[in-house]
Structure 1
Amino acid sequence: MKQCNGSELSVPSFLNNDFLLDIIRRTKNDPSITLCHGFKLRPVTDECSSNESTFRATLHYRSNRFHQERAIDLVVKTPLNDKPSSSTEFRMYTKVLPTMTKMLEDAGEPFHHPRLISAMQKPHSVLVIEDVSWLGWTANKLGLNTFQDVIPMIQEIAKLHAASYNLNQKSCDLTAFNKTLFPRDMNGIHDSISTNIERFCDTIQTRKDCEKLVSKFQKLKPSLDAKLNHVYAVNPNDSGYNVLNYASVHTLNILHKTDYAGRVTKTMLTNFQSCSWGSPAIDLLFILNVVVCHDIKLSHRNEIIYEYYRQFVRILTKLGYLGSVPSLVDLHTELLKKSFFEVYLNIIFDEASYIGPSEDHLNQLNYNGEKYLENIIADMHTLMFKGCLNC
């Protein structure tokens, strides 16, 4: 996933005063609104997205209905291309999230995500959502480093999974969201993974007890595409179960609120362009290998898995779901079936826990940090012994 570089973004010509004024008038249902002065669109560089131009704007306005000046903070998204991910986020904000949010709120479970202000596909494809940064929501770019801090993240993912599982069984077909598979939606993903595997192997090949690991990776490269597509393949009805995955559980896409001591109290999901119908293991492995710090993954892995499952069942119960509920064994089976994803996430993302996320992260992993190397080598040996590196 590529972090946007603000200097590369140019503002589309249609994003002008008249365009945004019309949006505010329709949103507020007030044709008398006027803009007080000009505004400036600021490129968003703290969101993990490669398929959209994303801008922030603060609009100051007045109306005949009130005399004082008011302001509204917006995030404006326009697609860079016609990739399916753009239509995925549009469908999420206009159809799925409203239904899901109401269902959860009616059950006493608030679901945190930016509020939709406006959505249109003609004459231009644009999503306008509220800018929550001024409300105290911030990203933790270095990973969550206590189990308690992870719980709000687990709860939000469990809400998404449980609500989607319930909706799909009852009234809303979500299976079409398997069209935006992550491996197929990234240009050059195979080359990037292969390059990082080569760098990793070059780094560890002279280290003690790494010969077999290097050999396994070299033999694995021809089957990378097949293995990644297997991760995102939808489970058939008679084997496993499916939910709507957020599928972009990256530190730049997850916002948090903290208390006076810096402890996470709430978590919010943003950037819904990668949502994918499939195994719940996708999001759970993202949490374990990208969102939490390495030490927490090692010390609390089972607790994180169990807490997610407990929340999933609890929310299904509150939603009034009366069907068969997947068991904890079913969840562990999904994690085992999709275990190659853990190899992928470690190779691509895990270094961010030690050196911090960087622009164009896929192409800048050099595996230089000794602490990182020690941990990833140990992790890869564990995954190898589980059979995750078999061709």
Structure 2
Amino acid sequence: MPGTKPGENYATLMLRITLEVQLKDSTSQTVSYMMKLPHVSAAYQETWGKKKFSVFDIERDMFMIYVEEFKQLYCDVGLEVEFGAKCFKLDTPNEYVLLEDLRPRGFQSVDRKAGVDEEHILSVLTKLAQWHAASAVRVEAKGIYPSHISDGLCNEDGKHLLNKMTDGMVPYILRTLSTMEGLEACSEDIKSLAGSITRKILQAAVVDPEEFNVLNHSDCWLSNIMFLYEKQTGKLLDSYLVDYQMCKYGSVAFDLIYFLLSSPKLEIRINKFEHFVKQYYDQLIKHLKLLNYRKRLPSLIDIHKSLFKNGIWGYFAVCGVMAGSALEATETASFDNLFSDTPEGDAFRTLLYSNNSFKEHLKLVLPWLCNRGALQNI
């Protein structure tokens, strides 16, 4: 059966498989799995299916090799840390990722449109800090990640998709801004950026060896996070990251901007941005020290400098994950309609960037990005 609702997942087809299994003692047990499969459309092949490395192979490697390495690093210092579901390998040439269904263990997804409160945000930021710390220490021990793991979308294979998501969406963003008062300066900045956004994102993605670098999740938003609650009290116990298809080695700014512009409740998204960065930073330093990181520890100022330097990533978040998180569930939300040059695709993209919820997000986030210089074409 379908594993996600429309608008929760664009990149792959997600299925939930439920099995009734007869055990050796003749009793039965229900088990369930989540399976990701590729779309078969022309739009998918044009933007995602021509990559040199299959995104399904990349994600399986992440689950079965690198996540296990991160967990072992923590195990070696006496801390048990889990990042996501168990992954299984099948003897088949088909493209797939097969995962444990986390729901029977008590994990739940949350309303991406409403956003989450500070407690949930700090849980995710702690998990990101643990992930980032382990990914940096792993480089010390085993060297840099292979390119198909470290590049994400930021290479020639992903350039077309990045262009579709950024420069390709400018007309829709500008059309919406033309109906809104008070955002004229932001609109002018975006007009000046048009045609060069993809290039600027790829420039920002070049790894600066002088910075503190990690393996970013790169798609950290509420549709890719599940939360575990205590059954009796409803207390939040843990958060897991899912979907490791777009990991990118580089500045922590990529994950922080992406998550903090898409997932907190709107009323705390901007006015607590620096507070959340500080909470993340404290956890990052704590876990780097725990894992005996030998290089220079980044300062909080280093992190903020990188957030300013990589501000263009904020525009990528606005065009993509922030728009998706604000959209009401609709059957027209699909990979094909996001990217294909059809009347149906145009209608969906118009809805995606013109609905009232997205306008509320733009009204708050765009001036903030403009005031930080993130949209300057210099």
Same fold (TM over 0.5): yes
The runs of at least 4 aligned residues of structure 1 exceeding 6 Å deviation read none
Residues 121 and 224 of structure 1: CA distance in aligned 2, closer, same or farther (over 3 Å): farther
Q: Distance in 2 between matches of 1:44 and 1:252?
A: 12
- Equivalent pairs counted in the alignment come to 345
**2:28 aligned with 1:69, yes or no?**
yes
Checking the alignment, whether the CA contact within 8 Å between 2:213 and 2:250 is kept in structure 1 is yes
Shift of 1:79: 4.1
Partner of 1:23: none
Shift of 1:354: 4.6
Checking the alignment, whether the CA contact within 8 Å between 2:270 and 2:364 is kept in structure 1 is no
**2:339 aligned with 1:339, yes or no?**
no
Shift of 1:70: 2.9
Shift of 1:92: 0.6
Query: How well do the aligned residues superpose, as a CA RMSD in angstroms?
Result: 2.7
Q: Structure 1: which amino acid aligns with 2:366?
A: M
Partner of 2:176: 203
Residues 204 and 69 of structure 1: CA distance in aligned 2, closer, same or farther (over 3 Å): closer
Q: Distance in 1 between matches of 2:364 and 2:292?
A: 43
Residues 242 and 56 of structure 1: CA distance in aligned 2, closer, same or farther (over 3 Å): same
Residues 2-56 of structure 1: per-residue CA shift (max 9 Å, x gap): xxxxxxxxxxxxxxxxxxxxxxxxxxxxxxxxxxxxxxxx232248544544322
Partner of 2:44: none
What 5-or-longer segments of structure 1 have no aligned partner?
A: 1-41
Partner of 2:128: 157
Query: SS of 1:299's equivalent?
Result: coil
Q: Distance in 2 between matches of 1:313 and 1:250?
A: 23
Partner of 1:276: 248
**2:256 aligned with 1:256, yes or no?**
no
- The worse-fitting range, judged by mean Cα deviation, of 140-149 and 332-341 is 140-149
Q: Structure 2: which amino acid aligns with 1:250?
A: W
Q: Distance in 2 between matches of 1:48 and 1:353?
A: 8
Partner of 2:59: 89
Q: Distance in 2 between matches of 1:192 and 1:152?
A: 29
Which of 270, 273, 286 lines up with 1:314 in the alignment?
A: 286
Q: Distance in 2 between matches of 1:152 and 1:105?
A: 20
Partner of 1:389: 375
Residues 210 and 302 of structure 1: CA distance in aligned 2, closer, same or farther (over 3 Å): closer
Shift of 1:225: 1.1
Q: Structure 1: which amino acid aligns with 2:106?
A: G
**2:40 aligned with 1:54, yes or no?**
no
- The worse-fitting range, judged by mean Cα deviation, of 346-355 and 306-315 is 346-355
Partner of 1:99: 69
Partner of 1:185: 158
What 5-or-longer segments of structure 2 have no aligned partner?
A: 40-48, 339-348
Partner of 2:343: none
Q: Structure 1: which amino acid aligns with 2:212?
A: Y
Checking the alignment, whether the CA contact within 8 Å between 2:327 and 2:355 is kept in structure 1 is no
Q: Structure 2: which amino acid aligns with 1:348?
A: G
Q: Distance in 1 between matches of 2:178 and 2:368?
A: 17
Residues 259-286 of structure 1: per-residue CA shift (max 9 Å, x gap): 5665543111111111111111111111
Query: SS of 2:89's equivalent?
Result: strand
**2:105 aligned with 1:135, yes or no?**
yes
Checking the alignment, whether the CA contact within 8 Å between 1:199 and 1:366 is kept in structure 2 is yes
Residues 378 and 272 of structure 1: CA distance in aligned 2, closer, same or farther (over 3 Å): closer
Q: Distance in 2 between matches of 1:296 and 1:381?
A: 15
Q: Percent identity?
A: 19
Shift of 1:388: 1.6
Query: SS of 1:377's equivalent?
Result: helix
Query: Whose RCO is larger (CA < 8 A, sep 6+)?
Result: 2
Q: Structure 1: which amino acid aligns with 2:197?
A: L
Partner of 2:204: 231
Residues 105 and 79 of structure 1: CA distance in aligned 2, closer, same or farther (over 3 Å): farther
Query: SS of 2:26's equivalent?
Result: strand
Q: Structure 2: which amino acid aligns with 1:164?
A: S
Q: Distance in 2 between matches of 1:218 and 1:243?
A: 33
Checking the alignment, whether the CA contact within 8 Å between 1:230 and 1:338 is kept in structure 2 is no
Residues 349 and 54 of structure 1: CA distance in aligned 2, closer, same or farther (over 3 Å): closer
**2:228 aligned with 1:241, yes or no?**
no
Partner of 2:345: none
Residues 315-338 of structure 1: per-residue CA shift (max 9 Å, x gap): 111222233211111111111111
Checking the alignment, whether the CA contact within 8 Å between 1:143 and 1:251 is kept in structure 2 is no
Checking the alignment, whether the CA contact within 8 Å between 1:147 and 1:300 is kept in structure 2 is no
Q: Distance in 2 between matches of 1:77 and 1:128?
A: 7
Q: Structure 1: which amino acid aligns with 2:206?
A: A
Partner of 1:327: 299
Q: Structure 2: which amino acid aligns with 1:103?
A: L
Checking the alignment, whether the CA contact within 8 Å between 1:149 and 1:263 is kept in structure 2 is no
Residues 189 and 179 of structure 1: CA distance in aligned 2, closer, same or farther (over 3 Å): closer
Q: Answer with 1 or 2: which has the greater Rg.
A: 1
Residues 97 and 205 of structure 1: CA distance in aligned 2, closer, same or farther (over 3 Å): same
Residues 144 and 373 of structure 1: CA distance in aligned 2, closer, same or farther (over 3 Å): closer
* TM-score normalised by the chain length of structure 1: 0.79
Query: SS of 1:128's equivalent?
Result: strand
Q: Distance in 1 between matches of 2:146 and 2:219?
A: 18
Q: Distance in 1 between matches of 2:164 and 2:68?
A: 38
Shift of 1:101: 1.4
Residues 74 and 210 of structure 1: CA distance in aligned 2, closer, same or farther (over 3 Å): closer
